[in-house]
Amino acid sequence: MQILLTNDDGWDAPGLTALTEVARSLGDVFILAPDRHLSGCSHQTTTSQSLKLVERAPNLYHLNGTPADCVRVAIRMLHRHVDLVLSGINDGGNLGVDIFMSGTVAAAREAALMGIPSIAISQYRQSGHQVDWLRSQDWALRAIDSILTSEGEREFGQFWNINLPDAQVDRSPQLIQCRLEPHPLDVQYRQDGDDPSECQFVGTYQNRGQHAGSDVAVCFGGNIAITRVSLGESFHKMS
């Protein structure tokens, strides 16, 4: 299996290194990731300026573009044959409506638009907690393997989103397929300093709303949340 890896934390991020170890146990790995940290860039693409591709090592490239750009360049410019796109492991969760803002998830979504099987993987962590990337590797491999061995018939315009629980969980987490949490993060702002025109986002990620059985509830409960994401009914009908 030919596997393309990317992310939105940058080509030298520890999460991408961890995912590389996972992917090498599944097939041949080709890495094309952004040259810098781009968390929260969503599905932005670069069309009005040139992109520079740099080869760091055999099958390891970085690009001065977004995660979605990386998928496009790998497929359309480098003409790589890709059986699977893996994006991550993101340092931080991408739960519920976060998927619309996440560059990690956008890379998987771009691959889905091209008809390529794809999985986004994120490592949730509570504020102040460190990531145990060895545990993340083990959990990610379990989750990816479960998808690859039981996916069944795949419809065009679908991809998978995985969220790994906080590393402080003191047991082996379960793999739970679940739906996206529809309740968004509570967005609040406070005045920043003495200038009333300046404001700062405030909010506590851990306090976000959650419905029973959603990916937020599963992940916050110490288990691995696996969600099949569809791009819409129109994609199903056209395919």
CA dihedral for 117, 108, 47, 52, sign (positive or negative): negative
Per-residue pLDDT of 90-115, as tens digits, reads 999 999 999 999 999 999 999 999 99
201, part of any domain: no
pLDDT of residue 139: 98
152, part of any domain: yes
Domain holding 56, by residue range, is 2-184+211-238
With a CB cutoff of 8 Å and minimum separation 6, the contacts of 141 are 22, 25
Q: Which residue has the tokens 């460190």?
A: 130
104, part of any domain: yes
pLDDT of residue 203: 74
205, part of any domain: no
pLDDT of residue 81: 93
Per-residue pLDDT of 132-181, as tens digits, reads 999 999 999 999 999 999 866 567 789 999 999 998 888 899 999 999 99
* Percentage, residues of the chain above pLDDT 70: 95
Q: How far is CA 101 from CA 8, 69, 127, 162, in A?
A: 11, 16, 20, 15
10, part of any domain: yes
Residue 233 — pLDDT band, cuts 50, 70, 90? low
203, part of any domain: no
Residue 116: is its pLDDT beyond 90?
yes
196, part of any domain: no
Average model confidence (pLDDT) for the chain?
Answer: 91
Please state the rounded mean pLDDT for residues 38-61: 93
Provide the CATH number for the domain around residue 38: 3.40.1210.10
pLDDT of residue 239: 45
Residue 207 — pLDDT band, cuts 50, 70, 90? confident
142, part of any domain: yes
Q: Domains in the chain: how many in total?
A: 1
For residue 163, give the nearest of 203, 202, 205, 111 by alpha carbon: 205
